[in-house]
Amino acid sequence: MNDEMPAASTRLAERQVRSARRLLAHLAELLQADLSVRLWTGELIPLRAKPSDGLAVAIRTPRAVTRLVRWPSLTTVIELVAAGELELEGGTLLDIAERRGAMNTKGLLRRLDKRLAVATLWPFLFGAAAVATDHAFAGGIAARDAAGRDNTALIQFHYDLSNDFYALFLDPEMQYSCAYFRQPDASLAAAQLAKLDMICRKLRLKPGESFLDIGCGWGGLVCYAAVHYGVTAHGVTLSEAQLAFARDKVARLGLQDRVTVELKDYRNLDGNFDKIASIGMFEHIGLDNHAAYFAKLNALLRPRGLLLNHAIARRAKRDLRRFRRKRAEYAALTRYIFPGGELDYIGLSLTNLERHGFEVHDVEGWREHYARTCRLWCERLAANRDAAEREVGAAKTRLWLLYLAGCALAFQNNGAGIFQTLASKRVKGSAGLPPTREDLYR
């Protein structure tokens, strides 16, 4: 009996390899894809006659196919990628996307030989399928602030990976939000400085004004505003790692008398400010807390004070119930990368601003700017992959490469948008803004 078990295992393994070759040969006929598939045996199977060199989908173990056959879902794919059982060789998801246009994917399911697919996948159904390590956020996530939503835990899951990790793909100012490309070929560093300056100009920052940055990250905006616009700036974050970096930066620049940063939830802020920026923070607070968010920001602003709300958005649906339904990739993003995150649609953001005492002045879409930003982040992280793996581990690095490439494609393909919205605390009479915006775009 002991001799029979290894023999049966060997026969199954051989059958799995033969089945994989047969199925991939059929897919090659249908797809004519400019890439290859590397089997767990090391064998490279092209998906067209002469594919370009280098780019391949690597299936590291037959167990990966077994898991996909038993549990066909995006979650399974992500866990396999994190575990290294499914990988891209010679590129990223961006490279696959660039070649997709040449693939014959139209009507693929209709053209697929279903009997062949069942026959070739059948041997994998009974293979080993140990559960991969779950890399998702493990804590509970309350939807509402009133139900005890722990924003600190949610933020720290994402941002407290390592400052050195983020430095591998961000610009020198450590800006982790959409850059602003005045020229299409501008460097990431130049585009992030242009973004900082545009925020300050939209807010009409003036020397001596008090400025609040909610979700200040690594302190780039508060320091830039103090140095170049003469404001007294205060930033808040819920990330311990970001706080330490920002405070070091403030001290290094000698800005202690003009810039302060603290670890605090925006809900616990008090005081009165001339101008407020919320850059890439709105996405974290949850749809059920938007009313409280806008009401709090209104309370923190002086009359005629300006707010710049910079946030990613989804497209509107026919009603809010449909809007709240999460597609698989969106659900995966909030599970593995941004726990608790929820995107608004711009119409609802504007409605809530008006409902809570704001006058909306300008709305500017930056979608294509963010497509380029995320692409550059992905390319920089891929170029520094070895260092990233040393810093946060191979699994996290794989997940982040997948996340950044996916975001770049979502913005590029108009699956997501991003808007800068300028609003003032509503008063009777003039809001105090110039009659045109010509000065912003000279």
Residue 87 · residue 342 · CB < 8 Å:
no
**CA 199, CA 440: separation in Å to the nearest integer?**
10
DSSP string across 107-172:
THHHHS-HHHHHHHHHHHHTS--PPPPP-S--S---SSGGGT--HHHHHHHHHTS-HHHHHTTS-T
Q: Which residue among the candidates 178, 216, 374, 407 is catalytic per the annotation?
A: 407
**CA 30, CA 323: separation in Å to the nearest integer?**
36
**CA 285, CA 141: separation in Å to the nearest integer?**
11
Q: Give the amino acid at 399.
A: L
Q: Which ranges in 301-414 belong to alpha helices (H)?
A: 320-324, 328-336, 346-355, 367-383, 385-392, 394-412
Residue 245 · residue 226 · CB < 8 Å:
no
Tokens coding 390: 């040393």
Residues paired with 420 in a beta bridge: 310, 364
How many C-beta atoms surround the C-beta of residue 429 within 10 A? 6
Residue 265 · residue 238 · CB < 8 Å:
yes
Pairing of strands 417-425, 358-365: antiparallel
Tell me whether residue 216 is one of the annotated catalytic residues: no
Tokens coding 135: 């890399």
Q: What is the sign, positive or negative, of the torsion defined by CA atoms of 68, 109, 14, 21? A: negative
**CA 251, CA 236: separation in Å to the nearest integer?**
16
Residue 343 · residue 285 · CB < 8 Å:
no
Q: What is the sign, positive or negative, of the torsion defined by CA atoms of 392, 395, 396, 401? A: positive
How many C-beta atoms surround the C-beta of residue 262 within 10 A? 13
Residue 316 · residue 252 · CB < 8 Å:
no
How many C-beta atoms surround the C-beta of residue 164 within 10 A? 13
Residue 54 · residue 35 · CB < 8 Å:
no
How many C-beta atoms surround the C-beta of residue 101 within 10 A? 8
Residues designated catalytic: 407
